[in-house]
A and B are shown apart, each in its own frame.
Chain A
Amino acid sequence: MKSSNALWKEKLASKMPEILAREIDGFDTDIALRKQGKMDERVFAETRLRRGAYGQRYDNGQRYDGKNFQEMKYPSGELTKGPSTMWDAPGMQRIKIPGGGLNADQLETMAELAEEYSDDIAHVTTRQDFQLHYIHIDDTPTVMRRLAAAGITTREACGNSVRNITACPYAGVCQDEVFDVTPYSRAMAKFLLGHPDCQNFGRKFKPAFSGCAQHACGLTSLHDIGFIAVTRREGGVEKRGFQTFVGGGLGAVPYMAKLFDDFVPVEEIMPLTQAVARVFARLGEKKNRSRARIKFLVQDLGIEKFRELVLEERKTLTPDPRWTDFVGPAEQFSESPLKPGGTWPANASGRFAQWLKTNTRPQKDEGFVTVTVALPLGDITANQLRALADIVRRYTKETIRTTVEQNFAIRWVSKSDLAAMHAALEAAGLGDPGAGAIVDIVTCPGTDTCKLGISSSRGLAGELHKRLAEKSFELDESVQHLHIKISGCFNSCGQHHVADLGFYGVSRKVGGFAVPHFQVVLGGEWEHNGGSYGLPVVAIPSKNIPQVVTRLTERYVAGRTGGETFKDFVKRIGKVELKKTLEDLAKPPADPNDRSFFSDWGDPREYTLGDMGVGECAGEVVSSVEFDLAAAERELFDAQVAFEAGNADKAGKTAYQSMVRAAKALVKINRQTISDRADDIIQAFRTDFYDTQKFWDPFAGGKFANYLFDAQAKSTLPYTADSSRYLIDEAQLFIDAAHACYNKMGTAVGA
């Protein structure tokens, strides 16, 4: 804890917006109450989460050191900041940046905070936020004050609230946009922040804005509510509005947003969103967190019924001047350059030429480009942030935004300044080419800092980055533009579903030991605002993933026809064939003494030695369970193939059967003579694994078991394309959870 916290409070008292100052003072009080035992730990947890203060890995007071679990005795003893979350354990502070828009002073503030409270690194997320790690909870009010004084809030950066409102970082300068969505996204962020109708959600709510339908930048398809700019002529006048979508979301099972309305006039976007929020708050699931996102409500009700409810709700709203106050100024909104437009650099060569190719994007205004600053793994140091602040002051009117690809976009750069700007970026170590290319890998924090991480997404991303950076410009042109996205678990913070090559962390048991793996997810589409979601093909040990990338890209280059995209290539070749390409990589190492597979990238600790089963009896059970789980995975793969072939009913039925088979694999451990009847198996599974909580995930609880129970309840209904698609994802997660459950049982046996 910093000794200067009281100094900052005094120093910044008059420099913060009053409402933010009052809220942060309130949080100070909450901290004091919790320390005195006068606030329940769960209430405090939600309180801090709504201010962006997250927990971090190992904050439950124990850490696996590769041999044993070590207890971490924190100085504050048993004091917690949430269930099983020790007070002194460092945490993560998420910082909302609406639309990713920043100025130079704010970059400098971020630099100071990264230096003084974190580990000298600021991390840009896939939702245009910043995250600072390893922060003590006692320091968070000061961090919030210093941000507030710079015009930034952390309010509702986490928790069951309206999260950061994202927007295309090229809004206003993009050649293909319909109109600039910037002022609308900013007005929405202001309107919804702390809105009383947004305080009683069962889960988070993420809005996004895009200026066009065809590019990826806004990713509206995967948001709870998404707005795409459109216009139409009314009485000879061009009218602005938004094509509006609801119910999208990634998470464990990704849902594509449904079209709510083709054209919502700009004057209606606030009340419509307010009505959506009220319906979500009223009817959304509250108890079962795994079904609490709005996507489930939309799915369960159907988009027509949901629309009807929202429009009814809309009629009941009391008019609010903020619904339309912004409209006039929004139409006048524009940014401007610092310098006159220029001409494209002549005779560029080497890294500068490569950088020009990948890191610049033409603007609709002649003479200007937007420059992308590629951040490896989304990380930037304090010194680099200050250098960036200098650069945006020198060449622009501080027009810089974070992007959902964990980079920065500097807008309004005169073409004549490109050489000088690149030199300045190079001096700061920010001049790498390859933005938006295969080397520009997106990753969530994974096992580095996230409590939910299963595999080391950052470790893998770092390794792939290193290997690809060496040869990225020698790769075939078609491969250079592929997107790799990695999540440390099924929760999709790395947005693996919309990548060409997506990966998410799972664990598998090999020879009695847990081995970090990644599911390979193929067929996703980044363009068209995240136009389609990929499906898992096969789980591969982490250490073999670089070979997966090599094989798949080589296969693509060799087998691509014409201008075929990777997504279309995957569709044409089929997952059966692609799985065959990778099958040998899924196998355990031939040499039993090769321990490299049993640790993850960048982490030499034995991955889950503590989960190892011992004893011959356990060993025999291991073989049987593993065999059955492998059979369930094969069956699920058949379901995917049926889905791809357009046979939704067969896909759904086969996916359900795969879940039953995986459940049976576990049930058989204690009931070897269990029948083959699905109802018998599921009843036994419920008794042995659900009611006893053996199958429960430490963080997701009974979520994955509920997938099975839901599937059973719906098993007599015909499967649609949507329902079979969701069931395939749920089945994959159920089987992954069965593996994890079995791994945990190994620990119990060994304990």
Chain B
Amino acid sequence: MSSPLPLQHVNVKLIASEGAPVDLEPLIPIFHGWIRDRVFEEMLLDVADYRHVHQGPGLMVIGLQGNYSVDNADGRLGVRYNRKALLDGTNSDRLKQAARAALTCFQRLEAEASLAGALKFGGRELEVLINDRALAPNNDATRIAAQPEFHAFFGKLFAGADYTLAHETEPRRLFAARVKSAKSFSVGEMLANLES
């Protein structure tokens, strides 16, 4: 049975650990290298540099199926995956795909020697956004409809650990949930949780 709320175009943003401001310039050659070496199954097309914009999308790898970015929206630095292409399957499959993509991206960045550990996952916080206002308007009905699948998903992602969930309340903005786990996880642990 299809869900009454089809969660397409899922975005997942993993919030980086707080610390000194991260210089995004070293990411430029890394992202170009990803395109050259075709590191993801998805088709990567180009690098977009928006470092000059206040609390903007930072540095992005533009892909055909999805974009990857080190994003500074709302002044919260993090690694974001924005699924653009339609994805078959259930809502749970789509949430999982976006989370896996963001986690894999972050894992690669944490392992980048040229960044020298400057960019680390904070271990607890992430945001899930649905980038389609027609499918998921930012209102109470969407929140209620999404709740069971969100809780199932976060329960799995955090391996049963407690977490808090707060929805974006500004109605003009995308439907979004900010989630914070009581327990800290590494990127690798979260990936393992997803696949368990």
Contacts and interface: CB of A to CB of B under 8 A. Distances in A.
Interface residues of A, number: 54
B119 to A, nearest CB: 18
A72 B134 contact: no
Nearest to B29: A604
A428 B75 CA distance: 11
Contacts of A57: 46
B41 to A, nearest CB: 13
B22 interface: no
B48 interface: yes
Nearest to A386: B172
A11 B133 CA distance: 12
Contacts of A121: 48, 50, 53, 56-57
Contacts of A67: 36
Contacts of B48: 119, 121, 133-134, 448
Task: Say whether chain B's binding surface is mostly helix, strand, loop, or mixed.
Answer: loop
B28 A603 contact: yes
Interface string B13-42: 000000000000000110010011000000
B192 interface: no
A66 interface: yes
Given A116-B132, A462-B52, A1 B86 contact: yes
B51 A462 contact: yes
Interface in A1-37: 1-4, 7-8, 11
A465 interface: yes
A58 B56 contact: no
Nearest to A70: B36
Most-contacted residue by chain B among A90, A133, A380, A466 (CB, 10 A): A90
B157 to A, nearest CB: 24
Interface in A95-128: 108, 111-112, 115-116, 119-121
B62 A383 contact: no
Most-contacted residue by chain B among A66, A134, A384 (CB, 10 A): A134
Contacts of B86: 1-3
A121 B172 CA distance: 16
Interface string B77-90: 00000001110000
Contacts of A72: 43, 45
Contacts of B46: 57-58, 63, 449
A383 B74 contact: yes
A428 B54 CA distance: 8
A430 interface: yes
Contacts, number: 123
How many B residues touch the partner, as a band? Answer: 35 or more
B135 A3 contact: yes
Interface in B83-119: 84-86
Given A63-B35, A88-B64, A2 B55 contact: no
Contacts of A119: 48, 50, 57, 60, 62, 67
A384 B132 CA distance: 19
A377 to B, nearest CB: 6
A542 to B, nearest CB: 15
B146 interface: no
A65 B46 CA distance: 10
B180 interface: no
A108 B132 CA distance: 15
Contacts of A511: none
Contacts of A89: 45
B189 interface: no
A3 B36 contact: no
Contact of B134 (A7, A379, A458): A7
Given A74-B64, A134-B67, A383-B73, 14 more contacts: A1-B85, A4-B8, A65-B32, A112-B172, A116-B131, A119-B50, A120-B73, A133-B48, A381-B54, A386-B172, A429-B54, A462-B49, A462-B51, A466-B52
20 contacts: A3-B8, A7-B134, A11-B134, A57-B46, A58-B45, A63-B46, A67-B36, A112-B133, A112-B172, A119-B48, A120-B56, A120-B73, A121-B48, A133-B48, A134-B48, A376-B53, A381-B53, A381-B54, A384-B53, A448-B48
